[in-house]
Structure 1
Amino acid sequence: MSWFATLSRLAALTAVLAISSTAMALEPTDKQRQAAEESADSLRYGHYADVTFDAAWSRDAFDRYLDILDGQRAYLLQRDIEPFESLRTELDRVLNRGELDEVFALHQRAGEKRKARLEWLLDELDQGLDFTFDGSQRLVVDREDAPFATRESELDTLWQKRLTNDALSLALTGQKREEVEDTLRQRYEGQLKRLEQTEPEDVFGLFMAAVTGSIEPHTAYLSPRQGESFDIQMSLSLEGIGALLQTDGEYVKVASLVPGGPAERAGVLKPADRIIAVGQEGEDDMTSVIGMRLDNVVDLIRGPKGSDVRLEVIPAQAVDTTRSHVVTITRDTVDLEDQAASSEVIELERNGDTHSLGVITVPTFYVDFDAWQAGEDDYRSTTRDVAKEVEKLKQQGVEGIVLDLRNNGGGALQEANSLIGLFIDRGPTVQVRDAQSRIQLYGDSEAGTLYDGPLGVLVNRLSASASEIFAGAIQDYGRGLVLGSGTFGKGTVQTLDELSHGELKLTRAKFYRISGKSTQNRGVTPDITFPSLIDPERIGESSLDNALKWDSVRDVQYRRYGQPEQYLPELKERHEARAADNPNFRYLERQSTLARKLREQHTSVSLNREQRKREMEAQEAEQLSLENQRRRALGMDELDEWIDAREDAIASSGNDENGASGEDDNENMPAERAQVIEAAEILLDYADLNATTRLVQG
């Protein structure tokens, strides 16, 4: 070890010992040291990727650890980091030997800086805030690419702007001066209290998040407490709101909604919405969760079945954090009945004739494992429930069936395989390759086809994993059309490795379609694409750091059932003609373009009240104009303000108190419903073209 490295480490540890006498230094436990060593072995020998712990990996992991500790470059100075620079090339040693002292020391330094800054903010509040908001300053919204400051005065300037922005954001919601100061004081005091409650397990968890995140996004260390929560979630007995949450800087973001869960049924949360406060039933005050650890936010949201939880939410489409609103969700459990497949018949008019098309909604790929393992004959599963719906639709004489897999995040692989078997007569369904490049082929071995008529599969960005396997197989077999927007791109398999302390979720294998293409990263590209309001740069595998790349393997032998691609030019032409006359499709296309433009423009916010209001009003005026264009075309009442649009969308979603759709008037359905109708229209076109071709050939 070099004398310079030795001095650097001594300086780092000495700096931590120089903390205030009221704070206690956090130290790693022997169990955590052992878990670090075990994790290194599991990652090196068990992960799908070729994991090498070397200087290059150390640099990536060190930068990721700094991002976790201070992603917005708002607390640490460059000189705070310099004593720990030796870690930049030696984190592999730290992990392999469980030598966690310096990692904890860096966290301690970041914690002290965060504590000092919160105390500075509270002192500023005690001195009183300037509520004129008449300056010309602007605050940069995202500083993740900014360098670390070299002087404390730079951070003082940044935090003065942040404090002004926090106060202005609250003032613009109608709060008076005293209310704003009280709200901010409660927020900062809450953050300070949570900071002082930091435990060694928290520090170790953050370090392990840097370790696993530098390898692949679905690999993660689970502490004993997190492992228990994971088990509860997998058993679907969690009493909460049914939403998967993830951190997004200082915010908590909705990653996805559990199909059939309370949040989805209520229709008040959407992916990429940010939760900024949580309130409990019977309490007036709400707890700010800005800057709160994710597991603590989950604990606040979780609660007894039947109780209400209030969430203050910044909608994903909001262009300013002041546009938050409070929603109420009744906590509940999620069972198989909530996630069961369901069907409906859509009637379309063509040249004076009425045509019936079936739509089967498949929220997830589920199976009642307990009943199945117990040998019960009538256990519930996706395939069994869809088969019943198919038989029902066949009896009703439908001319085609659309399987709606939008928002279906996957589930049991065996169900994806068996579901494909309802629409083909035996054959391979998916290839799975492990870390040793061994490929295992899965498929449908049962003879016969339940339904051989025109078939469509409707997907979106939230269709993932098993949904992508199903859609990809239908596309490869030429068995039907895939419609909608590009899927998530989750093409990997994870398992849990038990450690002496906690667990390690490891990516062990990768999915490949029977054509040899991976579903990883790129997902499944629809034959005909619909516009989407889900931003692929914020949601999806390609948006995740260090996601495994797309690649391919050799294809396998399989029988093609049709050649849908020969009809695509005509199908697209007919679709585009309808979409041009469909107000909902025009709205989706224009709103998607506008949302992308506003996000690109929204890199900073004005700290001048009048200028901020003008910018907000201009942005919302564009959004309101698009919404009202759609409404005028549909003969609906126009809205006076853009803020009313979300509430109106929830109210007009057609969901009754049980979450079932009760809307029958196609012209007044929201934009997402228009995709179902258009999918049926395209499938009817396909059936018509297919029948015409057979007639000519016959």
Structure 2
Amino acid sequence: MSLFVTLSRSVALALMLVVTSTTAQAALKPTDEQRQAAVEVADALHYGHYADITFDEAWSQEAFQSYLDFLDGQRAYLLRRDIDPYRHLEEDMAEVLFEGDLDEVFDLYERLNQRHTARLEWLLEKLDEGISFDFDSDERIEIDREDTPWASRESELDELWRKRLENDALTLALADQDEEQVVDNLRQRYEGQLTRLRQAEAEDVFGIFMAAVTSTIDPHTNYLSPRQSESFDIQMSLSLEGIGALLQADGEYVKVASLVPGGPADRAGLLEPADRIIAVGQEEGDMVNVIGMRLDNVVDLIRGPKGSTVRLDVVPAQAVDMTRSHTIEITRDTVSLEDQAAHGEIIEVERDGEPHRLGVINIPTFYVDFDAWQAGEEDYRSTTRDVSREIERLKEEGVEGIVLDLRNNGGGALQEANSLIGLFIDRGPTVQVRDAQGRINLYGDTDSGTLYDGPLGVLVNRLSASASEIFAGAIQDYGRGLVLGTTTFGKGTVQTLSDLSHGQIKLTRAKFYRISGESTQNRGVEPDIPFPSLIDPERIGESSLDNALPWDTVQNVQYRRYGEPERYLATLNERHDARVAENPNFRYLERQANLARQLREQQTSVSLNREQRQREMEAQEAEQLSLENQRRRALGMPELDEWADARLDPTNDDATDENATEEDEEEMPVDRAHVLESAEILLDYAHLQHMHQLARKR
């Protein structure tokens, strides 16, 4: 078995088979190997999962609904009469799983396949007949139909698909494609989906069913087919040559779940979490439309040899219209330990005309060179060792405090999170791990002494997960420092990977708890001083995932407190608010996040009228552009003419220039404001602590 305590791998694999557009011309039937694997998965879920699962009628209803959602989540293919013959599965799904009786599961998929095939052929016929490019109707089309009742008549779906075809054409037309290009691109898209339908195998159907079943339990428990198991092993060894982006399915689209720290996409700064990839191309040749393509097939297109270039047509996470895509190029590479190594810098903060030096150590992941460690080598690389060297260097430079930057750190080796905490405390517990039987194992730092006992800050964001949350939670519980930023991801569960007779199962087996007794699951770690962020917590994070295990508590353990940061929070927040009220980057982040939330809530449909669609799109982008240019004017930067340019501007990406001068700080990326303000807060904290200590001595 293997133990996993990271965010990104579990998220990327949790939804590997959401897309349904796959089938073969001959009816697909379950194999004996798949029937046996279903029984083994049932036993694993029943006897091995952390949660106490009751496979009763209520569970069967949920599993059946989940299967329908995986097959046709937008209610666009199946009719009510297609589903009615299988309604008894609402009571029998548990029996289907435990007995490996998969025939009706495959039959329902086959019905979906027939409807899907017929619909694609219908669309191609409409293209052959010719479509109108007037786009002058007053109609609108819903964006999300997951709560729409199943259609009773095929004519209802004809109307839906007429609108979908018109919307697909309008989307391409608004992207400055002429009529011939629009028709050619749509035909390529639909023919590609039809080809993939006809190439499917029984393994695809079984994978969809397994994904539907395991998703009812929790989002990190998944079945991996033999093919997926092989890909997972390659990924775990870090020998996979690609762009270093972990992907997940999002309806018909492929969405970026997270970026591998130090990977090609992370270094390029052109791709962000929640971006959607709609086409993939190699260094030369045409772009391949991947809307509706299976996730693992999209991954295969993006993967390639080191040094080669992949082109991606990307719709930014903040885009309010799918027409606003742009093409980026990323050079494929491998991710080495060196790329993910911790590194530090010194920030100077001026107060009353006097300079003050604060240290910042960026920790992309919790890593350790396991091979060198197991071989007994004395100089093996690890997070703790690299951070220790940075701390020693910063102490020699006379810094007045240190900020540990854990933003986008999705976790890693649990032993490194424990040992890293030990650099800042003198022995003690760090995390509790509770298994399915209720047994609690306590992990901690056993080495006496501390490496650094000065003012400490921990900077986190929504993509700080798992081991990062353990570290931040322990520092907060010990009162050892301040946690700054945004609420973390909330992944507080542990998975193991076990072999089956056919494939593997990744199973949630345990749960993390802080030494205070609170779980990190679902809620994450809440910062002492919150910062605004453009990462939408309703789209990224444990609480955004279906059937995430709940937050709860266990008994706290005994530990000593090293400080009382809460004593200073009112003053720190007051000073922080006063500073950021005048900080253009902070004002921008807060206003842009509010605007994105409003647009998401308001936009439930899009117009099929070209002029109206253009007006709505331009109005929304004008608001976004106005906020961006307000920021730029305040910083003395040149204004932009179009909102699309903001994404490609170097002052808006997440890359930082460690050699920048103080005069260059205003030209830094928006998120750089988080680092600079963390240094300001930590300096305030250091001064308040010093004043309190002086007062106690009097």
- What TM-score results when the alignment is normalised by the length of structure 1? 0.96
Are 2:204 and 1:205 equivalent residues in the alignment?
no
- Judge conservation of contact 1:663–1:669 (CA < 8 Å) in 2: no
Are 2:290 and 1:289 equivalent residues in the alignment?
yes
- Judge conservation of contact 1:265–1:655 (CA < 8 Å) in 2: no
Which residue identity lines up with residue 534 of structure 2 in the other structure? L
CA distance in 1, matches of 2:533, 2:117: 42
Q: CA deviation at 1:296?
A: 0.5
CA distance in 2, matches of 1:649, 1:461: 22
CA distance in 2, matches of 1:347, 1:332: 35
Q: 3-state SS of the aligned residue for 1:310?
A: strand
Are 2:156 and 1:154 equivalent residues in the alignment?
yes
Bigger Cα displacement from structure 2, 235-244 vs 461-470: 235-244
Which residue identity lines up with residue 682 of structure 1 in the other structure? I
Match of 1:680 in 2: 679
CA distance in 2, matches of 1:158, 1:61: 27
CA distance in 2, matches of 1:311, 1:462: 23
Q: Deviations over 1:619-654 (max 9, x none)?
A: 001000100000000000011111111011467765
Q: CA deviation at 1:655?
A: 5.4
Match of 1:96 in 2: 98
Determine which of 222, 243, 246 is the counterpart of 1:244.
Answer: 246
Q: How does 1:649-688 map to 2 (within 5 A)?
A: 649=650, 662=660, 664=662, 665-688=664-687
CA distance in 2, matches of 1:629, 1:107: 52
CA distance in 2, matches of 1:661, 1:136: 55
Match of 2:513 in 1: 512
CA distance in 2, matches of 1:306, 1:51: 47
Which residue identity lines up with residue 284 of structure 2 in the other structure? G
- Judge conservation of contact 2:347–2:360 (CA < 8 Å) in 1: yes
Q: Deviations over 1:59-109 (max 9, x none)?
A: 101101100100100000011101111111101111101000000000111
- Judge conservation of contact 2:314–2:325 (CA < 8 Å) in 1: yes
- Judge conservation of contact 1:653–1:669 (CA < 8 Å) in 2: no
Match of 1:499 in 2: 500
Q: CA deviation at 1:54?
A: 1.7
Match of 1:6 in 2: none
Match of 1:365 in 2: 366
CA distance in 2, matches of 1:312, 1:23: 31
Q: CA deviation at 1:51?
A: 1.6
Q: 3-state SS of the aligned residue for 1:505?
A: strand
- What TM-score results when the alignment is normalised by the length of structure 2? 0.96
Are 2:225 and 1:223 equivalent residues in the alignment?
yes
- Judge conservation of contact 1:267–1:650 (CA < 8 Å) in 2: no
CA distance in 1, matches of 2:521, 2:650: 33
Q: CA deviation at 1:561?
A: 0.2
Match of 2:489 in 1: 488
Q: How does 1:497-646 map to 2 (within 5 A)?
A: 497-646=498-647
Q: CA deviation at 1:666?
A: 1.6
CA distance in 2, matches of 1:512, 1:654: 33
Which residue identity lines up with residue 454 of structure 1 in the other structure? P
Q: How does 1:46-85 map to 2 (within 5 A)?
A: 46-85=48-87
Q: 3-state SS of the aligned residue for 1:348?
A: strand
CA distance in 1, matches of 2:24, 2:485: 58
CA distance in 1, matches of 2:24, 2:474: 62
Q: Deviations over 1:325-345 (max 9, x none)?
A: 111010111110000000000
CA distance in 2, matches of 1:564, 1:182: 62
Match of 1:126 in 2: 128
Q: 3-state SS of the aligned residue for 1:581?
A: coil
Tell me how many residue pairs correspond in the alignment: 674
CA distance in 1, matches of 2:511, 2:169: 48
Q: Deviations over 1:386-410 (max 9, x none)?
A: 0010001001000000000000000
After superposition, the Cα gap between the structure-2 partners of 1:221 and 1:652, relative to the gap in structure 1 and judged at 3 Å, is closer
- Judge conservation of contact 1:399–1:684 (CA < 8 Å) in 2: yes
After superposition, the Cα gap between the structure-2 partners of 1:35 and 1:654, relative to the gap in structure 1 and judged at 3 Å, is closer
Q: CA deviation at 1:378?
A: 0.8
Q: CA deviation at 1:661?
A: 6.7
Q: CA deviation at 1:197?
A: 0.5
Which residue identity lines up with residue 54 of structure 2 in the other structure? T
CA distance in 1, matches of 2:476, 2:522: 18
- Judge conservation of contact 2:366–2:413 (CA < 8 Å) in 1: yes
CA distance in 2, matches of 1:653, 1:545: 29
CA distance in 1, matches of 2:660, 2:197: 48
Q: How does 1:19-38 map to 2 (within 5 A)?
A: 23-38=25-40
CA distance in 2, matches of 1:333, 1:618: 42
Q: CA deviation at 1:529?
A: 0.1
Match of 1:690 in 2: 689
After superposition, the Cα gap between the structure-2 partners of 1:654 and 1:86, relative to the gap in structure 1 and judged at 3 Å, is closer
Q: CA deviation at 1:533?
A: 0.8
- Judge conservation of contact 2:651–2:667 (CA < 8 Å) in 1: no
- Judge conservation of contact 2:313–2:325 (CA < 8 Å) in 1: yes
Q: CA deviation at 1:236?
A: 1.1
Which residue identity lines up with residue 679 of structure 2 in the other structure? A
Bigger Cα displacement from structure 2, 640-649 vs 614-623: 640-649
Match of 1:375 in 2: 376
- Please provide the CA RMSD for this pair: 1.2
- 5+ residue gaps, structure 2, are 1-22
Q: Deviations over 1:373-431 (max 9, x none)?
A: 11111111100110010001001000000000000000000000000000000000000
Which residue identity lines up with residue 595 of structure 1 in the other structure? A
Aligned-pair identity (%): 75
Match of 1:311 in 2: 312
- Judge conservation of contact 2:270–2:653 (CA < 8 Å) in 1: no
CA distance in 1, matches of 2:629, 2:371: 51
CA distance in 1, matches of 2:348, 2:659: 16
CA distance in 1, matches of 2:180, 2:88: 48
Which residue identity lines up with residue 235 of structure 1 in the other structure? S
Q: 3-state SS of the aligned residue for 2:649?
A: helix
- Judge conservation of contact 2:486–2:526 (CA < 8 Å) in 1: yes
Are 2:443 and 1:442 equivalent residues in the alignment?
yes
- Judge conservation of contact 1:624–1:641 (CA < 8 Å) in 2: yes
Q: 3-state SS of the aligned residue for 2:364?
A: coil
Q: CA deviation at 1:281?
A: 1.5
Q: 3-state SS of the aligned residue for 2:38?
A: helix
Match of 1:411 in 2: 412
Q: CA deviation at 1:58?
A: 0.8
- Judge conservation of contact 1:268–1:650 (CA < 8 Å) in 2: no
- Judge conservation of contact 2:457–2:484 (CA < 8 Å) in 1: yes
Q: Deviations over 1:493-524 (max 9, x none)?
A: 00011100000000000000000000000000
After superposition, the Cα gap between the structure-2 partners of 1:652 and 1:548, relative to the gap in structure 1 and judged at 3 Å, is closer
- Judge conservation of contact 2:499–2:505 (CA < 8 Å) in 1: yes
Match of 1:194 in 2: 196
After superposition, the Cα gap between the structure-2 partners of 1:154 and 1:676, relative to the gap in structure 1 and judged at 3 Å, is same
Q: How does 1:176-187 map to 2 (within 5 A)?
A: 176-187=178-189
- Judge conservation of contact 2:243–2:265 (CA < 8 Å) in 1: yes
Which residue identity lines up with residue 473 of structure 2 in the other structure? G
CA distance in 1, matches of 2:430, 2:611: 59
Q: 3-state SS of the aligned residue for 1:347?
A: strand
CA distance in 2, matches of 1:413, 1:663: 36
Q: 3-state SS of the aligned residue for 2:581?
A: helix
CA distance in 2, matches of 1:196, 1:578: 60
Q: 3-state SS of the aligned residue for 1:671?
A: coil
Which residue identity lines up with residue 30 of structure 1 in the other structure? D
Match of 2:137 in 1: 135
Q: CA deviation at 1:598?
A: 0.6
CA distance in 1, matches of 2:508, 2:382: 26
Bigger Cα displacement from structure 2, 47-56 vs 609-618: 47-56
Higher RCO structure (Cα 8 Å, ≥6 apart): 2
Match of 1:320 in 2: 321
Q: CA deviation at 1:23?
A: 2.4
Match of 1:16 in 2: none
Match of 1:10 in 2: none
CA distance in 2, matches of 1:443, 1:586: 40
- Judge conservation of contact 1:460–1:486 (CA < 8 Å) in 2: yes
- Judge conservation of contact 1:165–1:607 (CA < 8 Å) in 2: yes
Q: 3-state SS of the aligned residue for 1:597?
A: helix
